[in-house]
């Protein structure tokens, strides 16, 4: 059930922050995306730790308010937000206990894939910045327009 809430919310938030960063700082879409995905990853990881602490104190661990680990890894860290995820882990002491070693291993794999992909693209000299910018602009615009349509239909906007 939590996937139905957090996964689309994370995607929409990344798209919105990417669009705002691109417009406000007049930056390339790919750099706005990297800033956005890392900022959102940091915020969501800190949020998850805050909810965990609150639910632990109130003894309400049965409430499904935590962000699923797959969302933390595959929707935030893997698509470019690994640095924000690592920063939040150590800032908020999130998923740093010995019991969370498997989570850190999955996060490390996501980061390793990002590094290898970046090295291969930069070494080959084939970083298609124009195409990458066009794809990110299109995806962010589509997600933002979809969310705006949904909110307008629901009467929120």
Task: For residue range 32-42, list pLDDT tens digits in order.
Answer: 999 999 999 99
Give me the domain span that covers residue 101: 2-153
Query: What is the tally of structural domains in the chain?
Result: 1
More confident residue, 57 or 41: 41
pLDDT tens digits along 131-146: 778 888 998 999 999 8
Reported as type and span, the H/E element at residue 34 is helix 29-58
pTM, whole model, 2 decimals? 0.85
Q: What is the pLDDT of residue 124?
A: 75
Kindly tell me if the per-residue pLDDT of 123 is higher than 80: no
Q: What is the pLDDT of residue 1?
A: 63
- Averaged pLDDT of the chain: 87
Count Cβ atoms below 10 Å from residue 2 Cβ, excluding itself.
13
């Amino acid at each position: 059930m939590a996937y139905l809430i957090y996964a689309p919310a994370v995607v929409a938030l990344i798209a919105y922050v990417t669009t705002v960063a691109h417009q406000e700082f007049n930056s390339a879409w790919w750099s706005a995306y990297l800033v956005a995905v890392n900022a959102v990853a940091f915020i969501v990881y800190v949020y998850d730790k805050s909810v965990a602490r609150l639910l632990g104190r109130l003894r309400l661990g049965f409430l499904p308010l935590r962000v699923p680990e797959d969302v933390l890894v595959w929707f935030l860290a893997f698509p470019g937000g690994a640095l924000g995820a690592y920063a939040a882990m150590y800032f908020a002491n999130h998923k740093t206990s010995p019991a969370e070693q498997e989570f850190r291993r999955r996060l490390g794999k996501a980061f390793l894939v990002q590094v290898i992909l970046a090295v291969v693209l930069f070494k080959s000299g084939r970083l298609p910045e124009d195409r990458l910018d066009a794809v990110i602009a299109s995806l962010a615009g589509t997600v933002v327009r979809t969310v705006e349509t949904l909110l307008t239909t629901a009467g929120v906007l």
